[in-house]
A and B are shown apart, each in its own frame.
Chain A
Amino acid sequence: MEFTADIGLEVHVQLKTKSKMFTRAPYHYGAEPNTLTDPVVLALPGVLPVMNKEAVRKTVLLGLLCKCKIAERCKWDRKNYFYPDSPKNYQLSQYDQPICEGGEVEIEMLGASRNVMGEHRMVQLTRIHLEEDVGKLTHFANDSLVDYNRAGAPLCEIVTEPDMHNADEVFAFLTALRNNIVAAGLSDCDMEKGQMRCDANISVRPKGQETLGTKVELKNMNTISGVRNAVAYEIKRQIHAVTSGEAIHQQTRRWDPVSQVTTKMRDKEESHDYRYFPEPDLMPVSIGAQQLKVLAKELPELPFDRQRRFMETLDLPYTLTSVLCPDKELADFFEEALADTGGKVAPKAVANLIANDLLRELSGGEEEGRLPLSACKLAPAHIADLTVLVEDGVITKQIAQTIFTEMYATGKMPSTLVEEKGLQAHSDDGELESIVREVAADPKHEKAISQFKDGNTKAINSLIGPIMKATQGKADPRKIQDMLAKVLG
C-alpha cells in the first residue's frame, strides 16, 4: 500500500528587539543566568505587562512578508498552564484574534542537479501570532535549574496548514522561511541559539484516503537538517507501524539527534485545558490600512523574487543566483558592486567573483558555515574596482587572483595594490614580442612549433605558460596568442 504523509509545522521565531515583549528588561542572547530580568519578567506580585511596539511592528512585517491577512484588530489572551520556566504560569499569547491569518511561503524543491532550478510551490499558513518566550530549564540528576533570561522575549508563532508531504518539503519550507525572515531583518533565526524552533505534526494515511491520519507531535529538533531527518524517520516509523497493523497513538515524540530516532515523550495528556481568556491587563491593537501601506514599503524583495530578477534581467545563471539570493546581505553586496562598476562589467563577472572567490575566502576551507560579510575587510567597491581593472585590460585575470588574495587580507583597494606592486598588464608590445621570440627560440619547443605550422593551432598552447612566467603573469593570454601567431606566422 502507498501512503501519503501530511505535515504541519509550528515554528517559533524570536523577534530581534532590544527589550522584552511586555517590559523594558533588556534581551540578548548569551547573557549570564538571570541577569536579564526585572519584576515583570519574574512575575513578582503587582507587575503588569506593556506591549513592545517594535515586536508588534515586526510581526505585522512578518505577516506582510508571508502575504497573510493582517487583522484590523487583534487582542491578547492568557494561556494558563503551570511549568517552572513560565513565571506567571500563564503565557501571554493570542487565541482567537491573532495578528496575521492565512498566508503562504514559496518554497523550492531540489532540482535534478545543482545547476537546475527545482520546482517551486506555495506552502499555506494558518496563522501567525505574537506571544512571549519562557525561561530555560537545565536538568540535573536530582533537580533542575531555571534561568529566566529568555522569559518574556518576543516570539512569533507561525502555524502552517498540514500542507507538506515529505521531509524535503519541510526542509525547503524552513529554509525559505528563514531566508525571508533574515532578509527582512526580523530575526536572525539561528536554531542553535533557539531563535527559531520548530515542532512538527505528522500523520500518514493510505494514498487516496481523504481524512488525515492520527497525528503525532514531534519536538526537540535543533537544526533544519535535524527537522528533515526527524520528519523522514517519523514518516517511516508511522508507515511501518500501520503496515504491521499497529495503531498510531496521538502523542508527543522527541527527536534524539544522537541515535537519530524519535521516542515517546508523553501520550496526548488529558487534552490540555488552557483556560484561555482575554488578557485584562493589555489593550487590543488595531492596525490601520494606512499603517500597512507604510510598513509594506519596508519589506525587502523576497529572495526567490530577487533570484528570478537576477536570472531574467541580469542574465545570471541559476547556479550563481542560488548562491547569492538566499542571503540578502550577499545579494545586496553583489548589486552594490555591480552598480559601482558603472555598467562597465558583465554582471556574471561580478557575481562570479563574489559567489566563488569571496565565499571561498569567507568559508576558509570549512564545509559548513562561513564568516559573515561584515567580518571581512572588503566593500562592494573592492569587487567593482577589481572587475573594472580586468575589464579595462589593466590587469590580467591571473593578476586579479593575486590581487584578490591580497586585498582580502589587507582591505586595500585593487587599484592601489596594482600601483604599489606594478602589476599592470603587459602593454609594451615590443617587450612582449622579444619575450615571445626568446621562448620560441628555445629548442625544446621546436616540435610544438612545427606542429603549429602544420595546422595544429592548439600545439603552441604549451608555450603560453613559459611566456606568462617570463612576464610575471602580467600579459594577457589572448595577447600572447596573437603575438605567437604573428611571430610564428
Chain B
Amino acid sequence: MPSEKIDIDYVARLARIDLTEEEKVTFAEQLGNILAYVDKLNQVDVSGVEPMAHAFALENVLDDDEPGPALTVKDALRNAPAQRDNQIVVPKVVEDA
C-alpha cells in the first residue's frame, strides 16, 4: 500500500475544490491519519478473491427502449443559477476538456 504523503494540491485539483491553505494543512494531516489506519488492509491476504462491486449479483438488468415523458423546459431549468434562450448559461469555457 502506498504510504507516501497525499499530494493535496493535485487531488484537490482533480476533485475541483479550492482549498484554503489552512484546509490543505488540516486535511493533509487528517487524511494521512486515515490512510495510516487504512494501511491495516494490507494484512489481509486477498489473493484469488474476486472484487465485490455490488451487494448481490444480478445480471442483465435492461429496460425497454420506450420513450417516456421529458421534463418541461421550465422544470428542467427550474433550479438553474443562470439561463438564457432555454439553455444553461456558464461562464466562458476555456478549452480544457
Query: Interface of A with B (CB < 8 Å)?
Result: 17-19, 23-27, 32-39, 42, 50-56, 73, 75, 81-84, 137-139, 142-148, 265-266, 269, 273, 275, 278, 280, 282-286
Contacts and interface: CB of A to CB of B under 8 A. Distances in A.
Given A19-B65, A145-B90, 10 more contacts: A19-B68, A24-B63, A25-B68, A34-B86, A56-B62, A73-B59, A81-B97, A143-B92, A145-B85, A283-B59
Contacts of A142: 92
Contacts of B95: 265-266
B46 to A, nearest CB: 16
Interface stretch (B19-27, B32-40, B70-78): B70-78
B66 interface: yes
Q: Is the interface of A mostly helix, strand, loop or mixed?
A: loop
A275 B59 contact: no
A278 B88 CA distance: 30
A25 B85 CA distance: 21
Nearest to B51: A278
Nearest to A73: B59
B64 interface: yes
B49 interface: no
27 contacts: A19-B67, A26-B67, A33-B85, A34-B73, A34-B86, A34-B87, A39-B71, A50-B62, A51-B61, A51-B63, A52-B65, A73-B59, A138-B87, A143-B90, A143-B91, A144-B91, A145-B88, A146-B89, A266-B95, A269-B96, A273-B14, A282-B61, A283-B58, A284-B59, A285-B59, A285-B62, A286-B60
Contacts of A56: 62
B65 A146 contact: no
Nearest to B55: A280
A345 B17 CA distance: 74
B86 A32 contact: yes
B54 interface: yes
Nearest to B88: A146
B62 A144 contact: no
Given A145-B85, A285-B59, A35 B92 contact: no
B67 A34 contact: no
Contacts of A81: 97
Contact of A285 (B14, B60, B71): B60
A179 B90 CA distance: 38
Given A39-B71, A280-B53, A52 B87 contact: no
Given A25-B70, A35-B70, A143 B63 contact: no
A139 B95 CA distance: 11
B93 interface: yes
Nearest to B14: A273
A108 B53 CA distance: 45
Given A34-B86, A38-B68, A145-B87, A53 B63 contact: yes
B5 interface: no
Contact of A82 (B16, B64, B69, B91): B16
A34 B83 CA distance: 11
A81 B97 CA distance: 8
A35 B75 CA distance: 10
A32 B86 CA distance: 9
Contacts of B62: 50-53, 56, 285
B59 A37 contact: no
Contacts of A282: 61
Nearest to B74: A34
Given A139-B93, A266-B96, A275-B14, A145 B70 contact: no
A19 B87 contact: no
A283 B61 contact: yes
B2 to A, nearest CB: 15
Contacts of B67: 18-19, 24-27
Contacts of A73: 59
Given A137-B93, A139-B92, A275-B14, A38 B70 contact: yes
Contacts of B64: 53-54
Contacts of A83: 97
Given A84-B93, A146-B87, A18 B58 contact: no
A144 B92 contact: yes
Contacts of A55: 65
Contacts of B54: 280, 283
Which 7 A-B pairs give the minimum distances between C-beta atoms? Answer: A24-B68, A54-B65, A26-B67, A145-B87, A53-B62, A278-B53, A146-B88
Contacts of A275: 14
Contacts of B92: 139, 142-144
A412 B48 CA distance: 73
A265 B70 CA distance: 36
A297 to B, nearest CB: 20
B77 to A, nearest CB: 7
A34 B61 contact: no
Nearest to A50: B63
Query: Which of A84, A147, A283 gathers the greatest number of chain B CB atoms within 10 Å?
Result: A283
B65 A37 contact: no
